[in-house]
Structure 1
Amino acid sequence: MKLSVLVLIAALAVGIAIGLVNFYFQQSWYDLMISFGVSFAISYVVFYYLLQKYIYSKIVLIYKLIHNLKLGKDLKDALGEYVSSDPINDVEQEVKEWAGAKKREIDVLKKQEQFRREFLSNVSHEFKTPLFAVQGYIDTLQECMVDDPETANKFLKKAATNVERLSYLINDLDSISKLESGEIPINYQKFDFVLLTKEVMDNLEDSARVRNIKLSFKEKYTSPAYVRADREKIRQVMINLIQNSLKYGRTNGSTAIKIFELHDQYLIEVTDDGIGIEEKHLPRLFERFYRIDTHRSREEGGTGLGLAIVKHILEAHQQIISVRSTLQIGTTFAFTLEKLG
């Protein structure tokens, strides 16, 4: 409501009240009209002056300050030239919006703090396990190096395995950090995704054979499927997804790679017929170090960062990845890539 309307209402109220009081004592309509007119005029002038000087101007100043600070200006610029036609309502709206924005910021900060604590705890645990193992193997080596060289050699190999695991963990953490900060550029190029998929399958054929899992890529994918992306990073995506399907696949099962042509994209799916994933785990599946079955995950190896890296690579390409799964039936990971003619 504008200042003039507020003052008019207040002056009318005062004028009517004084006029009625005068009429009560004088019983004269003429005196009522005179007293009403005089009191209304004086009240209007006084209220307007007081409200304008002590209240309205302050509200305008507050509104200008809030409005311009929201736009990211410093304090000096925030007290600048912006003027609203109805600052009382506008300041209420601005304060509500500002309060809502601050609440959302606080909620985000709380989530980030929770994520930071979980992340530090996970990193500490992931490093601690192989470090303690290496320490134990080295202590054993020192005791049996001379008397039992066969045992010493066995523990030396185990220590080397855990050192290698630490190396993978550090490299994966470094990759995620650089992807998030944009330090690793995306080198876009045109390449045939069909050819890349066959290369990855050839490289992982031995791993699939050890687990008695068949890798399938239907014969219909004989013609090229050209995409615009970073070839080596998409290779890493395919390796991680197929390795994940092999890790949790069913013995004598299969992993299938499929391509679907959309309007301006290709949809790629990696499907296994393994143990599947409970629905409650799906929203957190791409979080760093998130493990569904901790014991089995550690037995199978890996750093717990593979799917997080996949997500970061695809997001860096401005593409999406999704997952759907049914227990004891299988899991499908699907992602998109930009299609080229």
Structure 2
Amino acid sequence: MQKKLKKTYKFAFKTSAYITLFLTLFMSVFLYYTNNLNWLLIPVVLLTYTICFIIIQYRVERFIYRRVKRIYDDLTLLESTSLRNQPITTDMGTLTREIDKYARDKKLEIETLKIREEYRKEYLGNVSHELKTPLFTVQGYVLTLLDGAMNDEKLRKKYLTRAEKGVERLIYIVKDLDMITKLETGDLSLTTETFDIVELVENVFELLEMKASKKKITLSFDMEYKQPIMVVADKERIQQVLTNLVVNSIKYGREKGTTEVSIENLIKNKVIVRVTDNGEGIEKEHLPRLFERFYRVDKSGSRKEGGSGLGLSIVKHIIEAHNEKIYVESEIDVGSEFSFTLEKAK
């Protein structure tokens, strides 16, 4: 039992002093009238005070301990991580602080659980919506074919092609969900190698050149990189990161706009890759949640752009799996910049 008993000592000191004073006065008067007043009165007073102090201190200690223990048991404080390994204290000040801390921790825990519950509901709703849309699309085309449209060769080919696109979208969503789950649980291992990040960006530009040309968006570097910049990472996953970021900049970029990639030295062993566009931009209120699964800035119109709604979430998980950081800055009607760090090759 932890003994922080300053207040109980004070109580015992005072109470013992009162009792001793009363008994001393009583005995002094008694001995004075009986003519037996002598030097033995002093040791008797000291002995009386000592005995009173020990008895009062012990009883107060036991009295407080029993009731404090009951409080610990009733409030299940011993289940708290911060209190489980601590002995029960009988000091009222310490107990008050512990209960206050416990109450604050529990309040924070409850608030966190409420936020997670809201996120869970929103996430399940988003998953349901993302899967329901292509499923109903495929079902609609199949039912139309079964109702007689498959007898028309042109309609049959047209509807089967559209149904195939719906199935591809479903597969795309499921694959992305599977990848995020593996990244979160650590089941998806990274194969690190040394490669030229400049060359990788050029490859991504070539792959997306046709997509960008539809909106007349120019894909370019901020400058001419004459020397290779070697980094250490999973080349395939970093290409996926760059592809997702550039695709997003094209989707939400302006007609005849630009998507620019820059690579800068950050510190001695790090580089930072920036993907900047002059698109519509993102409001500040959306930035903290931008990397959540299925989170959409434009709830109504963004789905027409396609995709699984998981691109930025995958980007974040891949970068964090490399123990690196990803950042986003954006301003409405000015554009957005996504940047991430990578380790430089020695």
Q: Normalised by the size of structure 1, how large is the TM-score?
A: 0.84
Structure 1 residue 321, shift from structure 2 partner: 1.2
Q: Which stretch of the first structure deviates more once superposed, 301-310 or 278-287?
A: 278-287
Asked if the contact 2:8–2:60 (Cα under 8 Å) also holds between the matched residues in 1, the reply is no
Q: SS of the counterpart of 1:204?
A: helix
Structure 1 segment 282-293 matched on structure 2, within 5 A: 282-293=287-298
Residue in 1 that maps onto 2:207: 203
Asked if the contact 1:137–1:159 (Cα under 8 Å) also holds between the matched residues in 2, the reply is yes
Structure 1 residue 149, shift from structure 2 partner: 2.2
Distance change in 2, residues 1:6/1:291 (3 Å): same
Residue in 1 that maps onto 2:234: 230
Q: SS of the counterpart of 2:227?
A: coil
Question: Aligned partners of 1:160, 1:83: CA distance in 2, in Å?
Answer: 66
Asked if the contact 2:292–2:313 (Cα under 8 Å) also holds between the matched residues in 1, the reply is yes
- Tell me which of 298, 310, 317 is aligned to 1:312: 317
Question: Aligned partners of 2:83, 2:186: CA distance in 1, in Å?
Answer: 25
Asked if the contact 2:16–2:53 (Cα under 8 Å) also holds between the matched residues in 1, the reply is no
Residue in 2 that maps onto 1:187: 191
Q: SS of the counterpart of 1:261?
A: strand
Structure 1 segment 116-131 matched on structure 2, within 5 A: 116-131=120-135
Q: How large is the Cα RMSD of the aligned pairs?
A: 3.5
Residue in 2 that maps onto 1:40: 49
What amino acid is aligned across from residue 326 of structure 2 in structure 1? I
2:107 is the alignment partner of 1:109: no
What amino acid is aligned across from residue 323 of structure 1 in structure 2? V
Q: SS of the counterpart of 2:204?
A: helix
Structure 1 residue 281, shift from structure 2 partner: 1.3
Asked if the contact 1:276–1:328 (Cα under 8 Å) also holds between the matched residues in 2, the reply is yes
- For residues 217-274 of structure 1, the C-alpha deviation after alignment (integer angstroms, 9 at most, x for no partner) is 1443121111121111111000000000000011111100011111131111101111
Structure 1 segment 167-316 matched on structure 2, within 5 A: 167-263=171-267, 264-316=269-321
Structure 1 residue 309, shift from structure 2 partner: 0.5
What amino acid is aligned across from residue 107 of structure 1 in structure 2? E
- For residues 147-176 of structure 1, the C-alpha deviation after alignment (integer angstroms, 9 at most, x for no partner) is 432122212111111111101000011011
What amino acid is aligned across from residue 285 of structure 1 in structure 2? L
Q: Normalised by the size of structure 2, how large is the TM-score?
A: 0.83
Residue in 2 that maps onto 1:158: 162
Structure 1 residue 101, shift from structure 2 partner: 3.3
Tell me the percent identity: 41
Question: Aligned partners of 2:77, 2:136: CA distance in 1, in Å?
Answer: 55
Structure 1 residue 56, shift from structure 2 partner: 4.5
Question: Aligned partners of 2:50, 2:136: CA distance in 1, in Å?
Answer: 89
Asked if the contact 2:80–2:102 (Cα under 8 Å) also holds between the matched residues in 1, the reply is no
Distance change in 2, residues 1:332/1:42 (3 Å): same
Structure 1 segment 75-114 matched on structure 2, within 5 A: 88=91, 90-114=94-118
Structure 2 unaligned runs (5+)? none
Question: Aligned partners of 2:184, 2:104: CA distance in 1, in Å?
Answer: 28
Structure 1 residue 40, shift from structure 2 partner: 3.0
Aligned residues: 332
What amino acid is aligned across from residue 174 of structure 1 in structure 2? D
Residue in 2 that maps onto 1:322: 327
Q: SS of the counterpart of 2:328?
A: strand
Structure 1 unaligned runs (5+)? none
- Tell me which of 331, 334, 339 is aligned to 2:339: 334
Structure 1 residue 103, shift from structure 2 partner: 3.2
Distance change in 2, residues 1:12/1:293 (3 Å): closer
Structure 1 residue 44, shift from structure 2 partner: 0.4
Question: Aligned partners of 2:123, 2:79: CA distance in 1, in Å?
Answer: 37
What amino acid is aligned across from residue 274 of structure 1 in structure 2? G
Asked if the contact 1:260–1:267 (Cα under 8 Å) also holds between the matched residues in 2, the reply is yes
Question: Aligned partners of 1:169, 1:257: CA distance in 2, in Å?
Answer: 27
Distance change in 2, residues 1:106/1:146 (3 Å): closer
Distance change in 2, residues 1:189/1:93 (3 Å): farther
